[in-house]
Amino acid sequence: MKININAVKKNLGTYTHAYGLKTKSEGLLQVLRKLDTNTKNIGLLFRDPITKLNLINCRFPVDADFTNQMLWTPINDRNLEVVPTFSRYKPCKKTVKWKKLNDEMGENSHSYDLVKENNFVLLVHRSFRTKGVIEKYNPKTGYGFIRRNRRDIFFISSWCKFNPIYTSMEVSFLPIISKKGLQARTIEPVKF
């Protein structure tokens, strides 16, 4: 896949700027120029600066501007540090460093929620989840709202990990900010 360096730079800058952070991506961009067609996607890893716990990992392809498809999760008052990452079609000789990250934050990991928007992939630690109550839901359209702190959060039934969906049900969800506003994703019923 041909790398669009300007788009990659814009994607990295837009995503980190939304969190008030800066990434030192110049070194990564130089490496990408050398690798060119072997690079599959690029991403950003947000982690706790003290414990180094991986909290958020976003990934997007390297060939286009994805700023219209980006998804963010509210971080409240958490301190984060950011590290740019990339993956390749052909594995490089030094894969030991990245194996731990792939095992820990894999899409099948129980500690992380997976959210996709077309080619944009977001893995978020479950500590970002919050609770609310389904207040309005129309089974014909599949659209509804979850009430949390006097505020309605939009959801679609396909984002729920359960069925049937009914009002006054307490749920746990991942709040996501998209270009369409605040959304509730990866919705699960609260277990008592």
What phi and psi, each to the nearest 5 degrees, are found at residue 171? -135, 160
Domain layout of the chain by residue ranges: 5-126, 129-189
Rounded CA separation 121/2 (Å): 19
- Which residue from 2, 117, 7, 1 is spatially nearest to 65, judged by alpha carbons? 7
What phi and psi, each to the nearest 5 degrees, are found at residue 84? -75, 145
Give residue 30's pLDDT. Answer: 73
Determine the CATH number of domain 129-189. 2.40.50.140
Instruction: Report pLDDT digits (tens) over 11-37.
Output: 888 888 888 887 777 777 777 776 666
- Which residue from 66, 65, 40, 158 is spatially nearest to 120, judged by alpha carbons? 66
CA distances for 11 relative to 4, 27, 114, angstroms? 11, 16, 20
Q: What residues have CB less than 8 Å from 124, skipping those under 6 apart?
A: 55, 56, 73, 112, 113, 115, 174
Q: Taking 90 as the threshold, does the pLDDT of residue 189 lie above it?
A: yes
pTM of the complete model: 0.81
Instruction: Report pLDDT digits (tens) over 96-111.
Output: 444 445 545 555 578 8
Residue type, 57: N
Instruction: Report pLDDT digits (tens) over 64-82.
Output: 888 888 899 998 888 998 8
